[in-house]
Structure 1
Amino acid sequence: MAKNPDPVTLMIANTIKPGKLEDYRIWVKGISEAARQFDGYEGTQYIKPPTGDNHTVHSMIRFRDHVTLSAWEESEARQQWLDKLPELVASRQAEKIEGIEFWFEPPDAPLLKPPKYRMALVTLLAIYPLILFIPPLISMLLPNDVPRFVAILVSCLCTVLLMTWAVMPAMTKIFSFWLFRKK
């Protein structure tokens, strides 16, 4: 597999068998602890099923890149935990999402995504300071005779790169308690 430096998120929806939710919670703690031991593991977010739901639990497992995710996916430790899963879940869906794709909702996505207004607010909190500070910094670094459109292009490029690989992954982690909350 070719190296891909982009973070990757494995989105999973498990429909828990009736009466197995507490056993599933114990299983989740165990597999999360096992994943934590692997290089590149960046965290797991779980969304509890709302009352009256068919007990579908959504989870997002983040790894630094495809290489570290593959090491986890191909590990014996993961396989041992997955072998216990059929007695707990009725169905399972999984999807890999790379880098910034996590912020774009596919039209027929079966997995839970944050509400758009929450994504918009977190994005605003992330981009506002960048827009305040990057253009003046770029104008100080570029020669005075550089055309305005070039300075704007460089500012936009710096903002997009920072948002994609630094700011939004951090903001997602910081605000995950609110972004993925049901209500």
Structure 2
Amino acid sequence: MSIHVAITRRVRAGCEAEFQQALREFFSTSFAHSGVMGASLLVPPPGSDAREYGILRTFRNEEERDAFYDSPMFKTWDERARTMTEGEPVYRRLDGLEAWFRSPGPPPPRWKMALLTWLAVWPVSMIVSALLAPLFGQLVPKFIFAGVVAGGIVIVLTWAAMPLLVRIARPWLHGSRPQPDKPGDR
């Protein structure tokens, strides 16, 4: 099961461009670590005075995550990043529905995540079932057909429906956001 981690760093005034370039270089290097499955950078909106940058990382599992953060490669990056940032980075592990709604700050309220997920699952389940019924409906037992439909739903939700809905609903999901949690899971 993959592990998602949201990291928030406050970049020193005047170091924003240098930090972004250094982080892009580190992203390229970090993919040499076998357990790193993804990384993204979230920047403040253009024209904003905010200096909070978000880094989203996905690891194959907890062991790979821990090995990455204990590696000399990460420790070298962390030392370099500290010259361009203020305070300690904040690490948050994202679990369950939070992984779809991952962001550097706190996740939206669970009821909003559940409602948006339901809004995606309902039509996707109807569409996937209708599309697959002519192909598999009469050829396989019902429980296998149900598994094929469930797999189709998961694929559509993961790579299409949820990323699109989360992007569209971001202002509603997050509203005015409180400050990120204190350092915890990494």
- Give the corresponding residue for 2:177: none
Identical residues among aligned pairs (%): 12
Alignment partner of 1:102 out of 92, 99, 110: 99
- Indicate the residue corresponding to 1:48 in structure 2: 43
Partner of 1:131: 129
- How far the C-alpha of 1:125 sits from its partner, in A, is 7.9
Q: For the structure 1 residues 40 and 62, does the alpha-carbon distance in structure 2 shift closer, same or farther, using more than 3 Å as the test?
A: same
CA distance in 2, matches of 1:89, 1:49: 15
The one-letter code of the counterpart of 2:130 is: L
Q: How many residues align?
A: 162
| Structure 2 spans left out of the alignment, 5+ residues | 172-186
Counterpart for residue 148 of structure 1: none
TM-score (normalised: structure 1) = 0.65
Measure, in 1, the Cα distance between the counterparts of 2:10 and 2:169: 18
Distance 1:100 1:158, change over 3 A: farther
1:132-147 equivalence runs, <5 A: 132-134=130-132, 137=136, 140-142=139-141
CA separation of 1:119/1:71 partners in 2, compared to 1, >3 Å: closer, same or farther?
Answer: same
Contact preservation (8 Å) 2:98, 2:107: no
Stretches of structure 1 lacking an aligned partner (at least 5 in a row): 1-5, 143-150
Shift of the alpha carbon at 1:64?
2.4
